[in-house]
Structure 1
């Protein structure tokens, strides 16, 4: 099943990439199971494993994409490396701000809402999100998505997303972000949902790949890709 999910992720990421861009999936070994990531302690422990994975593979790649909507270890990796490092949440919100005036984030778990709302503020995107409850749970977890994929019933995921999406649209959202690396891929590639009632549904990995490509271009042209006297400086 993990191999099938990996293929779906690469497939989703490849839809809008440039022909010359090569994508490789590098799973981090030793991290907590999906069912445990609603535990803050487990995610904190995961960050170090993910960071080490990025550092170990950094010489063989032009950019790194952290494949988790919590952007796990993205900031320390960005500080420590000279290559671009992008995360799903930051990239998705940046793209959503270009696509519409107000976005909303669809979360798989109610326990993620506070942290995802904090991320909107940390990334300076509060003005780009809807005023009332910019992050909302769809009531379907990552494990639900895996089970529905195995059963061939991704229509259940669509059924979980649709009413929450409609409520967000009624409250002013003209762009939707699925705040989960796994469920967003299952919805986009598995179920073929790209928009709901004319409102784009952003798959964060698509945004992260395009952000990485832009930063690679800037670096190759000799332009700086991060500030080194502030937060991202490593000296």
Structure 2
């Protein structure tokens, strides 16, 4: 089984970290390879960045071989998810949609954890578009650029743990998921210390992509459907 992970930004080290997390989550059950949008923004931190990534993302999708059985959209904004689903014949899994769906199976109230505050309104819009508005307990963005580096930074672990604690104790979250590709690799370091279950969004997407590939569903029609806000 072959699964493609598409990164709409141009940071190869982020692609590498997403691949590592996706492979860790699925083990040896499938082959996951990654493509990086060389024409995209370095990272996606705004609506403008999100829009700028679309053309290159769609172009990457057009290059996929026929033996690819599912696609992971490696961006927490779920950029152009509906367009990709309409374009491709195989299941396409969005990171934040998968994170919300997985977390919803573990608890009633869901906390979202990302990097920076600028994108938190967009995650609220995404959650609403997926029908989770009433289940999002809160959204926290840790204020540091350290996660965008190539390696893992110890200071990020402490900030993430503080945010998870706040989401749990102050906002009532039963489970927390990361909705930032830059946070890949950090969850194992904090999960055992957290008050509630903490999941990595890319790991959720990878497991769901594998499950859909195994189910081999017929392609759903997207001709008359559009998710609000995307």
* TM-score when normalising by structure 1: 0.83
Cα distance, 1:148–1:167 mapped onto 2, change above 3 Å = farther
Deviates more, 1:11-20 or 1:45-54: 11-20
User: CA shift at 1:56, angstroms?
Assistant: 1.6
Cα displacement (A) at 1:217 = 1.9
Instruction: Give the whole-Å Cα distance in 2 for the aligned partners of 1:164 and 1:72.
Output: 25
1:122 to 123, 129, 132: 129
**How many angstroms apart in 2 are the aligned matches of 1:66 and 1:85?**
7
Would the aligned equivalents of 1:218 and 1:225 in 2 still touch at CA under 8 Å? Answer: no
Task: Name the CA distance, whole Å, in 1 between partners of 2:45 and 2:13.
Answer: 23
In structure 2, the CA distance between the partners of 1:195 and 1:231, relative to structure 1 (3 Å rule), is farther
**In the TM superposition, what is the alpha-carbon distance from 1:147 to its structure 2 partner?**
4.1
TM-score, normalization by structure 2: 0.84
Aligned to 2:6: none
- d(CA) in 1 for partners of 2:30 and 2:115? 30
* Bigger radius of gyration among the two: 1
* Number of aligned residue pairs: 215
1:17 aligned onto 2:16: no
Q: CA deviation at 1:18?
A: 5.3
For the residue of structure 2 that corresponds to 1:23, the secondary structure is: strand
Compared with structure 1, are the counterparts of its residues 155 and 173 closer, same or farther at alpha carbon in structure 2 (3 Å cutoff)? same
**Distance change (3 Å), C-alpha of 1:103 and 1:26:** same
Question: 1:230: Cα distance to partner?
Answer: 3.8
- Asked if the contact 1:148–1:156 (Cα under 8 Å) also holds between the matched residues in 2, the reply is no
2:82 corresponding residue in structure 1: 75
Q: Secondary structure at the match of 1:24?
A: strand
Q: 1:205 aligns with which of 197, 202, 207?
A: 202
Deviation of 1:139 after TM superposition, in Å, equals 1.1
Root-mean-square deviation (Å): 2.2
Q: Which residue of 2 aligns with 1:91?
A: 98
What is the CA deviation profile of residues 153-173 of structure 1, one whole-angstrom value per residue up to 9, with x for unaligned ones? Answer: x22001211222111101211
How far 1:26 moved relative to its partner?
0.9
- Do the aligned partners of residues 164 and 202 (structure 1) sit closer, same or farther apart at CA in structure 2, a change above 3 Å counting? same
Q: Which runs of 5 or more structure 1 residues have no equivalent in the other structure?
A: none
CA contact (8 A) 1:176 1:201 kept: yes
Distance in 1 (CA, whole Å) between partners of 2:16 and 2:150 is 17
User: How much has 1:16 moved relative to structure 2?
Assistant: 2.6
Structure 1 SS opposite 2:121: helix
Q: In proportion to residue count, which structure has more helix?
A: 1
Residues 108 and 135 in structure 2, CA contact (< 8 A), matched pair in contact too: yes
